[in-house]
Structure formats: structure tokens, C-alpha cells
Amino acid sequence: MIKAVRSLGQNFLIDPLIISAIIGVINPVPDDTILEIGPGLGAWTAPLLASGADVIAIEKDRRLIPMLQKQFPKLHLIEGDILEILLDDILPDGNKCKVVGNLPYKITTPILTHLLSKNHLFSSFTLMVQKEVAQRITATPGTPHMGTLSYFIHRFAEAKMIFTIPKRASSPEPKVDSALVQIKLRQNNRQYHKDVFNLVKIAYGQRRKMLRSSLKRIIPPQQIENLLARLSLPGTARPQDLSLEHFDLICQQRELQSQKLENLLENV
Ligand code: SAM
């Protein structure tokens, strides 16, 4: 019997009805290439392989590797850390991959940003995450949960909350409920633009402040007000009042000094 390790976010999904509902949402078919993050004891892996899809799984816990290898001879299993693996090296060229997994909660945001920085490799992500994180992932501009993570997601994809999953569906029980989210990547993705992301990160780092105050170390307040006026926004606007395009336009209109931003980010 393998003892769950909290630092690896090991809450294994045990409810067969929920597992089968999740597989229904993923809808694996034989032509699919699927990347599973953290297969754990194989609750998702078994039905994914049974569909005939090609499944690549990355598992950090080396105790689980022999069992997974034995149980799933067809699985392409990689022992390692999803955040350190060079995704271009392990995924096949040509076939965009579906990413799935019940994510270790503590590293959900780094995993998502890691995946999104390589968004051209993927068609969708179907992920079980903390319910509160699911709300942030699916938030839209102008709504209370909107933040840097939502911005990252919406730049590249459409995200939907599919259903919530109660704590009792996992063992050991996590402290909070979860949810399944599906994130569908747009085909003509915009480039990952570092300056815009840095700007969003600084603005949402002080989300309750007006932009003329939170951005004042990189853009003088009067200039921010002029930029906002050109976008028909009030000088008192806060980050949640801006759409994704507004941030793009601010970045284009103002020559942001990347180096200065980088230094500032260390203090955000
Ligand atoms: N998929 C299984 C399930 O639903 O029962 C396990 C999910 S459990 C919430 C998270 C899994 O991710 C664990 O198997 C854990 O060992 C693995 N894991 C944790 N951190 C990881 C990382 N950085 N890279 C890859 N796998 C990781």
C-alpha cells in the first residue's frame, strides 16, 4: 500500500462515476496523443489507454513508477517533474496534444503558465483543480475573480467550468472541493508577449489600486491617464476594468522598458 505524500499533492480520485464522467469530457479517441500530468495510481490512465489513444504520462513520485510500468505496458511513462521537462522534446511533432490531469494543487498556476508558454503544442487541457482556482481560470474581465492567471488563460484559450467535485471523491480527502475545467486552445494563437504579461502581473499584483498608482513606477501617472483616455477609460480605472486588448494597446502605445520591468517584478 502506497502512502499518499502531501507535498506532492497526492489526493487520489476514487469515485468511479466521477472518473467516468471526466473521461466522457476528455472524449479520448485512438488518434489522440494525450499528456497526463501525475497519473498517480492510474485512475485516469486505465480508461484513457482503453480508448486506444497514445498516452504519455509524467509522474514525479518514483515509488509509483514500477507499479505504473507493470500495470500499463503501453503507457509512455516519464519519471520527472512536469515543470522541468522540456515539452518540445517529449511530444510528437504534428499532432496537437490533449493535456489531462488531476493537478497537484500547490503548483497549479506554475503548471498552467508552463503549458501556456508552449501553447502551440496543445489542443486542450482538461484538468481537475481546486474549485477556487477553477473560478479564477474561468473568470472574465470585469468579474471579481479575474486575475493574472485568468489573463494568461484568456489570451490563448476559452475556459469552461464543467462540474464541481466533492472532497469525498478523493482519498485522502483534500481540504477543499475541486472542479473540472476544460480549456480549449485557440488555433491562431497570439504570441506569448513578455512585456504585456509583465504589465498585467504588476497591475494585478495590486489589484485594488488604480492603475495610475500601481503602474506609476513604470509609467508616469499623467501618461497613464492619457493612455486610458485614449481607450475611453476613466483615469481611475483598476486592472479589472480593462480587457485583454486594452493591456495590449497600453503596451503598444507606451514603449515599455523590459529591463526596468524585470527589476520591478522581483518586488511584486
Ligand atoms: N491522477 C491521479 C488521480 O486522479 O488519482 C493522481 C492525482 S494527484 C492529485 C497528483 C499527482 O501528481 C500525484 O500522483 C503526484 O505524485 C503527481 N505530481 C506531483 N507533483 C508533480 C510534478 N511536479 N510533476 C509530475 N507529477 C507530479
The preferred substitution site among 10, 75, 106 for testing ligand 1, maximizing ligand atoms within 8 Å of CB, is 10
Distance 3 CA to ligand 1 centre (A): 13
> Where are the domains positioned within the chain?
6-185, 194-265
Ligand 1 atom 14, closest CA: 40
Mean pLDDT per 10-residue interval, the chain, length 268 residues:
92 98 98 97 98 98 98 98 93 90 95 87 96 94 82 88 98 97 82 73 87 86 86 90 83 57 49
Ligand 1 atom showing the smallest separation from residue 101 Cα: 1
Ligand 1 atom showing the smallest separation from residue 58 Cα: 25
Q: What is the pLDDT of residue 192?
A: 59
Q: Classify residue 78 as exposed, middle or buried by CB count within 10 Å of its CB (0-12, 13-18, 19+).
A: middle
Q: What is the pLDDT of residues 15-48, one digit of tens each?
A: 999 999 999 999 999 999 999 999 999 999 999 9
Distance 38 CA to ligand 1 centre (A): 3
Q: What is the pLDDT of residue 188?
A: 62
pTM of the model: 0.84
What are 185's strand-pairing partners?
157
Q: What is the pLDDT of residues 118-156, one digit of tens each?
A: 888 999 999 999 999 999 999 987 788 888 888 888 888
Percentage of the chain with pLDDT > 70? 91
Pick the CATH number of 6-185 from 3.40.1710.10, 3.30.565.10, 2.60.40.1170, 3.40.50.150: 3.40.50.150
Ligand 1 atom showing the smallest separation from residue 11 Cα: 9
| Residues contacting ligand 1 via CB (< 6 Å) | 8-13, 37-41, 43-44, 58-61, 81-83, 102, 104, 107
- Tracing cell 503501453 back to the chain, one arrives at 74
Q: What is the pLDDT of residue 258?
A: 45
Q: Classify residue 167 as exposed, middle or buried by CB count within 10 Å of its CB (0-12, 13-18, 19+).
A: middle
Torsion of CA 214, 219, 224, 227, to 10 degrees: -130
Q: Is 194-265 a CATH 2.60.40.1250 domain?
A: no
